[in-house]
Every structure is written in C-alpha cells, then in structure tokens.
Chains A and B, each alone.
Chain A
Amino acid sequence: MISDYLEALAAALSFDRPLSQRVRQEVEDHLRQAVDADPAGGGLEAQQRAIANFGEPHAIAVQFAVVSLAQQTKRVGAAIILLIAGVFVAMKARVAWYAIMRCAISDDIKIVSGIIGSIDRYSFWVSVIIGIVGWVYVSGYRIVAGSGAAYRKQLRRFFLLCAAATGSLVISVVSDGVLTTLRLPGAGLSAEFLVPIFSMAIEIACAAILVLQIRGITQRATATAALLKT
C-alpha cells in the first residue's frame, strides 16, 4: 500500500525528476516510521492511517510545484547573465581579432555598418541592464506558504523582463551577424575568418539557449498554474 502511494506521489511530481526521487525517499522513510510508531503495529490499518495523515499526493505535488518552479526561475535568472556574458566575450574576441588582423571596413559600407553597429551596441546594453534587473528581482524574492497570487504577479514581471532582455540580445546578435557578413565577402573566405565565424556561432548558440530557457520556464509555469487549478 505504501509503495502504491509512493508511486502516485512520484508520478504527481514527475515535472521535476530529481525532486521526485528525493521526495519519494523522504516520504517513504516518513511513512515507514509512522507505521512502526503506530500502536496497532505494522498492519494494513497502520499503513492506511499513515497515508491518510500524510495527505493526498496531488495536494502535496501542488505545493512542491511552486517550490520547484521558484528554483528553476532563479536558475534562469542566473543563466540570462551567463549567456549575455558569453555573447559579450565572443563579441570582444571578434573585435580584437579584427584589430590584430588589421581588417578595416571598406568605405562604401562604413555608413551602413555604423548604423548597424549603433543598433548592436544599444540593444546589447539594454539586454545587459534588463538582464541584471531580472536576475536581481528573481534572486530577491522568497516564496512563503500561501503566497500564490503575489507569486504569480512576481513571475509575470520576471517573464516580461526575460522577454525584453532576450529580445534585445537577439537584435544584438542579428546585428553582429549582419556586420560580420558585411566584412566577409571583401576578404574572401580564408582561415583568418574562422575566428569571426566561430565567435558568431557562439553568439547564436547563447541566444538560442536563452530562448529555449525562457520557453522552458514559460511552459513550466503554465503547467504549474494548471496544477494549481485542479
């Protein structure tokens, strides 16, 4: 009977596998202790009582879902900072490489690349500022029991900040891509352009990971909200 209950609890917590395994072990120890301490002995009745005192798997999973979502949200907050830093390093490495190779922009694309460069700079720094604000915001709040409505509000604000930071970063990476493309045809495809291409690949990967992280946390928040409603 305890095994069936643990299976049901683990299934209800399937949204977070490591959490599910940990809780299962903790709850198993709890229930076995409760059965051992029952004056009626370790029979079926004692098991039924222990399970009834513990509560419905679904109700417990709902409480854990909020805790788990908060943890994942904080991870995403930190990931935003790391991924923006990754884009920054790749960007600076490419600029340093251009300086070493004395790779100048041809006069006929100077105006265009100046405009795109400005878009790139501003959108990048906007993403940095919003990313830091989002990270500080999400790191600062603490979930307390029964704070569902307030937490949902905080989550919404955090998602808006995430979306804004990601949007700005994507604009910056696209601008970088355009600038790199403008420089490439002039010199032809050679080994010296492997560094810019590689740095662009890193930038695109960072932006893509960020988009996937935001998508993942949004799906998770939707699933948690659905769990809270049932």
Chain B
Amino acid sequence: MHSMEGEMLKGHLDMIVLAALSAGPAHGYAVIQEIRRRSGQAFDLPEGTVYPALHRLEQAGWLTSRWVTAESGRRRRVYALTRHGERALTERRAVWQQFSDAIGSLLAGTRPRRRPA
C-alpha cells in the first residue's frame, strides 16, 4: 500500500489519534506504533506531529494524561480518552462513514444511498 499524503492526513489527525487511543491508554510512541499497525503501515506520519495533536486534544478535554514511570526508569506521559473524546470519536466516525460512502458511490458512478434519519 502507498504511504498516504501528509497534507491529506493532517486534516484527519485528530480522528486518527483518537482512534488509536480507543484501544486503551497509551504514551506518544505507542500511539504512533498503533497508528502504523492499524493502518497497515500506510499512515507514516512525521512522529513529531503527533505530540502537538495529543496536547491539543488534551486541551480540548478529549484526552487526559498523567506521568508514569516506565520499566526503563524513564518518565512517560500516558494519554487516555475522556468521555468527551469517546463521543467526539463516535461522531467523527459516523461523519467519516457517510463521507466515505458518498465518495465511494461517486467514484463508482452511482448515487449515494439515502440513510434513514
């Protein structure tokens, strides 16, 4: 699979990070590994861009974070989704699904199916 364009990913970075954390609390490095693993290595982001996103999402109240001490003895910041974050992810997932269906139908040359309200 081709690596996705950086600009294309940037617009969806918040959703990608929230999705990576939906599996459970994780620190920055683990979040990046999870993004790579779950995208089949397609999302190869510059690693440094994930940290401002984590801070921004924490500021928005979608994540919480705390320091823990790793086995190596190093201090590590672990992030977890808040209820607001879970709700935001669910909303974004639904919007993305609709968008994806519409684009898929458009590209296939058919009209998008209407979803019941």
Query: A residues touching B (Cβ–Cβ < 8 Å)?
Result: 19, 22-23, 25-30, 32-34, 53-56, 59-60, 63-64, 66-67, 70-71, 142-146
**Per-residue A-contact encoding for B44-63, CB less than 8 Å = 1, 0 else:** 00111101110110011000
A163 CB, nearest partner CB in chain B, Å: 25
Main secondary structure of the interface of B (DSSP, over half): helix
Q: A22 near B29 (CB under 8 angstroms)?
A: no
Complexed CA–CA distance, A59 and B14 (Å): 18
Taking A53-B46, A71-B59 as contacts, is the C-beta distance between A30 and B52 under 8 angstroms?
no
Q: B77 near A144 (CB under 8 angstroms)?
A: no
Taking A33-B29, A145-B14, A146-B11 as contacts, is the C-beta distance between A22 and B53 under 8 angstroms?
no
What residues of B have a CB within 8 angstroms of the CB of A55 in the complex? 46-49
What residues of B have a CB within 8 angstroms of the CB of A19 in the complex? 55
A185 CB, nearest partner CB in chain B, Å: 52
What residues of B have a CB within 8 angstroms of the CB of A54 in the complex? 46-48
Residue of B nearest to A74 (CB): B59
**Per-residue A-contact encoding for B24-67, CB less than 8 Å = 1, 0 else:** 00011100000000000000001111011101100110000000
Pick the most buried of B27, B48, B55, B70: most chain A CB atoms within 10 A of its CB: B48
Known: A30-B27, A34-B47. 16 other contacts (CB 8 A): A26-B76, A26-B77, A27-B48, A27-B51, A29-B28, A29-B75, A30-B51, A54-B46, A56-B48, A59-B48, A60-B52, A63-B49, A67-B55, A70-B59, A142-B60, A146-B10
